[in-house]
Structure 1
């Protein structure tokens, strides 16, 4: 029997990670934060001072990541959940994610998260490239202004300094990179359900996803 998958794709700071976590918890399923794999790749490149224009070197990093998600996000045993959320890491992650070689290096690793009883996977190409046979595909939208405000609030709560104007500029730049790249550009799958969460709470967004899946929530 095919293990069920729900994919939640969308642009940076659309809330897809938070929504995916809540949906997975409601269903008792596993969750995949695919963006964390790209952020981890970026973090290692920054630490090792690897030239981000060296596609082969970056792909080698992606292919050999020593990562676990069992107790937070760990890189070679080191807890890095907070560090990978830094804006410098996110900006580089968006950049290296445009490399087809990096995406190919991480493809099977992402698919390996598909284990019983089911998986909720969030990212940018979960429904189009990684799990094209998913039973429910959601494309989560929100205005750039709403997303910047959410990201600013998250960073402030974590004690990470940031300005709203800079975040908005970064988000728009990432959106342009993600939608314009040749390899798995950010776009909804042809059979995805579009959900604009600009004026919805996280709980309302989660309930809508669960309702689409046929779960009472």
Structure 2
């Protein structure tokens, strides 16, 4: 079967990672969660005291990027790859609201984006990959055969995220989560380097009122149409 590159971009808490994982599994593709990579760098910056919400020494992070080693390791029990930061499994640590509050600030740094974009492009050289993030279809893989831009209303995204955090045992309020979602939307869309925007050839995908099964079926059909078309063209 012909292998393609699938780029899924969109706002925070639209369920990009969930759909991307399902799609990669169904197609037997590699899945890469670029958000986890930025979150891991953010966790490193927080641990070093470069950013904690009350002070802004984030520029110091640029000089420490060479110390950051990231990798994904597949967990057979869970059925997906987990994020490792300098050989430490940080999958749980990077999903907290505190990391969410700081990740957009870290992702603004040009040096951070350049380092991670290079890593992501290396991962996708052989195609057969599903990658989700903020600039996959515009910067990382501008020639991807399938580009999807996911969105949903801020209140529905905040509620999804709120429920997810509660299920993990975190003590959060819906108001704080909504504020975080709206703040990240603004920063992601207005940053100087690789701002969040829909690629001209991306398929807009508003899942405000969609269930997971419907989302997956639509995405899977998008992919199959392109794969089948490429295979016919090659014959």
Pairwise same-fold verdict (TM > 0.5): yes
Whether 1:65 and 2:68 are equivalent positions in the alignment is yes
Question: What residue ranges of structure 2 are gaps of 5+ in the alignment?
Answer: 75-81, 228-235
Q: Which of the numbers 93, 101, 107 marks the counterpart of 2:111?
A: 101
Matches within 5 A, 1:25-174: 25-50=25-50, 53-54=56-57, 56-71=59-74, 72-114=82-124, 116=126, 118-174=128-184
Distance change (3 Å), C-alpha of 1:63 and 1:147: farther
Whether 1:20 and 2:20 are equivalent positions in the alignment is yes
The offset of 1:77, in angstroms, is 2.3
The offset of 1:195, in angstroms, is 0.5
Moved more, 167-176 or 51-60: 51-60
Question: What residue ranges of structure 1 are gaps of 5+ in the alignment?
Answer: none
Name the SS for the 2:13 alignment partner: coil
How many pairs are equivalent?
A: 215
Deviations 1:1-37 (A, max 9, x none): x962101101110100111101100100001111111
The offset of 1:48, in angstroms, is 1.2
Q: Distance in 2 between matches of 1:106 and 1:117?
A: 18
Superposed CA RMSD: 1.9
Name the SS for the 2:123 alignment partner: coil
Task: Give the greater-gyration-radius structure (CA).
Answer: 2
Q: Distance in 2 between matches of 1:104 and 1:56?
A: 15
Name the SS for the 1:74 alignment partner: strand
Name the SS for the 1:214 alignment partner: helix
The offset of 1:46, in angstroms, is 0.8
